[in-house]
Structure 1
């Protein structure tokens, strides 16, 4: 069964996409830790990041770097943090989280619940740089 991320890639489920190329896609987390929290995903559905081939693995991080720089330009933060957890959805993904404090990347804290309009505004800000 396709993951929720594959459904976003295939446009079966809507997502606030900020960047995309032939191999990767980046979209806002709908329950972000902070505003501007983006997920970067390879289009090929692989469950575990260390099962990616070398080319796809390095390509994922190069793509994530481009997206992180755009986040840093448009979302007020000191840094953009990176996390790879991979337990919640069986499809490789990198979390890019705008950071002002260490607790901004604490996955056990309650998630935000922004409206679709708020998500669209954040996505448009980031897309404007890319």
Structure 2
């Protein structure tokens, strides 16, 4: 069982942004920028392209309102998508508000946020997300 499956099951706490029967979105605990969100399928699959076909299109449709909420919550040029998948053997998508390519540089230092700061980011995104 991966750490993401434990998060989905509620065994490990997370700052949940959205959820449906197939996907779970939550704030990255080691964010590159404010609003950095992960979306994972509830089915445990290691590689993105091994995800069942019916999930792939649905994944982007699930991500779309979250990306819009991130753009509204954190002024940026756009929301970047990254599917790297080396850190955890459970397919996942990063949604990252970006103003430059460097905002998606995973080798740079991560933000260190307090629980209160994470909760503030979570509430900001979820409040906007309700409008979509």
- Band the TM-score falls in, shorter-chain normalisation: over 0.9
CA distance in structure 2 between the aligned counterparts of 1:31 and 1:88, rounded to whole angstroms: 12
Residues 79-107 of structure 1 show CA distances to partners (whole Å, capped at 9, x for unaligned) of 10000000000111000000012211111
CA distance in structure 1 between the aligned counterparts of 2:115 and 2:73, rounded to whole angstroms: 19
CA distance in structure 1 between the aligned counterparts of 2:59 and 2:127, rounded to whole angstroms: 21
How does the TM-score come out when normalised to structure 2? 0.94
Q: How does 1:34-49 map to 2 (within 5 A)?
A: 34-49=33-48
CA distance in structure 2 between the aligned counterparts of 1:3 and 1:38, rounded to whole angstroms: 18
CA distance in structure 2 between the aligned counterparts of 1:124 and 1:68, rounded to whole angstroms: 15
1:92 paired to 2:91: yes
CA distance in structure 2 between the aligned counterparts of 1:22 and 1:107, rounded to whole angstroms: 29
CA RMSD between the two structures: 0.8
| 2:57 equivalent in structure 1 | 58
| Count of residues in correspondence between the two structures | 129
Structure 1 residue runs without a partner (length 5+): none
CA distance in structure 1 between the aligned counterparts of 2:52 and 2:101, rounded to whole angstroms: 32
How does the TM-score come out when normalised to structure 1? 0.96
| 2:81 equivalent in structure 1 | 82
1:32 paired to 2:31: yes
Residues 18-73 of structure 1 show CA distances to partners (whole Å, capped at 9, x for unaligned) of 11111101000011000100001111110001111111111111111221111111
CA distance in structure 2 between the aligned counterparts of 1:74 and 1:109, rounded to whole angstroms: 23
Structure 2 residue runs without a partner (length 5+): none
